Structure 1
Amino acid sequence: MLVKLVITTLHHRQAPLVELTKKHFNIDLSQPAFWQQTMKRVVEDVTEYKQCM
């Protein structure tokens, strides 16, 4: 749900950040795969952090 909202917002606004990220880092922020991978990593990091406590 959050991923879809972010992608929709970025797509409609044509944010300069999207363009700059694609141009300089070859990362397309408008692609669901990017956000899914990012959220997966966040969940993994939080899980690891919680295990350390």
Structure 2
Amino acid sequence: MNSSPVLVTVMLFMLGRTYGDSVTQKEGQVILSEDDFLLINCTYSATGYPTLFWYV
């Protein structure tokens, strides 16, 4: 099986790239009771995409 040199080069380039997101909570650990209100101030850094995706 012959692989195209361009395809192999593109695949190696893509494998070498990594992306990651980082979220930092400055207050540290928070403990509260059920039904309590909580506001968390966080900072984030995202690479590869200009926004951070949140999943709940």
TM value normalised by structure 2? 0.29
Higher-Rg structure is 2
Bigger share in helix: 1
Bigger share in strand: 2
Higher relative contact order (CA 8 A, sep 6+): 2
